[in-house]
């Protein structure tokens, strides 16, 4: 295996992960500021949803537009399409299967796209408030203090 290209690849992946985390962090901050309390990355749920509201049985996935193939938003990859297109199609299929499995278990699912934050955060806030319903401070739990803005 070519060591340099492996290192480059891992540096690239680290950057991608950091970018994803930043988007997710901004959404978490927004949801928190709106008065909701949540848990993160529920490993027991299909697709490990990013933000979980157990008492409401609702989850939010925060999706990067490229990786998750946002319709009409993400430009198709121009280089190595034979590598990327099947990969991105698999991501979309996995997302759809996870959402379907969650709904079968009685969960509601919302997806927040990276571009929504960039385009109109106020509109996103309104959408999430409508989706989640009125915030209730009684739902605050011991794990929620882990959040710091």
Candidate residues 65, 109, 112, 124; the one interacting with Zn ion per rule CB under 5 A = 65
Structure tokens at 149: 């803005």
Q: Determine the interface stretch with Zn ion among 15-23, 71-79, 88-96, 137-145 (rule: CB under 5 A).
A: 71-79
Q: Which is nearer to Zn ion, 45 or 115 (CB)?
A: 115
How far, in Å, are 7, 8, 141 from residue 2 at the CA level?
Answer: 9, 10, 48
Q: Which residues in the 5-64 window bind Zn ion by CB under 5 A?
A: none
User: What is the rounded (10 degree) CA torsion for 79, 1, 7, 61?
Assistant: 60
| H or E element that contains 21 | helix 3-33
Spatial distance between the Cα atoms of 47 and 55, rounded to a whole number of angstroms = 19
Candidate residues 26, 115, 117, 125; the one interacting with Zn ion per rule CB under 5 A = 115
Output the smallest distance, CB 19 to Zn ion, in A.
Answer: 14
70 binds Zn ion (CB under 5 A): yes
123 binds Zn ion (CB under 5 A): no
Residues 6+ away with beta carbon under 8 Å from 140:
37
| H or E element that contains 51 | strand 51-53
Binding pattern for the stretch 72-111 against Zn ion, x by CB under 5 A and - elsewhere: -x--------------------------------------
Q: Which is nearer to Zn ion, 72 or 134 (CB)?
A: 72
Q: Which is nearer to Zn ion, 11 or 96 (CB)?
A: 96
* The length of the chain, given as a count of residues: 149
* Count of residues of this chain found to bind Zn ion when the rule CB under 5 A is applied: 5
113 binds Zn ion (CB under 5 A): yes
């Amino acid at each position: 295996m070519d060591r340099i290209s492996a290192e480059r690849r891992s540096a690239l992946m680290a950057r991608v992960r950091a970018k994803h985390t930043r988007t997710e962090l901004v959404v978490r901050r927004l949801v928190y500021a709106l008065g909701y309390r949540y848990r993160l990355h529920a490993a027991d749920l299909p697709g490990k949803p990013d933000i979980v509201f157990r008492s409401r049985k609702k989850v939010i996935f925060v999706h990067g537009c490229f990786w998750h193939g946002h319709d009409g938003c993400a430009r198709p990859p121009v280089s190595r399409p034979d590598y990327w297109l099947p990969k991105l199609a698999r991501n979309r299929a996995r997302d759809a299967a996870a959402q379907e499995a969650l709904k079968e278990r009685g969960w509601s699912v919302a997806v927040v796209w990276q571009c929504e934050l960039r385009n109109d955060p106020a509109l996103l806030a309104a959408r999430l408030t409508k989706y989640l319903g009125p915030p209730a401070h009684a739902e605050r739990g011991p794990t929620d203090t882990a959040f710091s803005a």
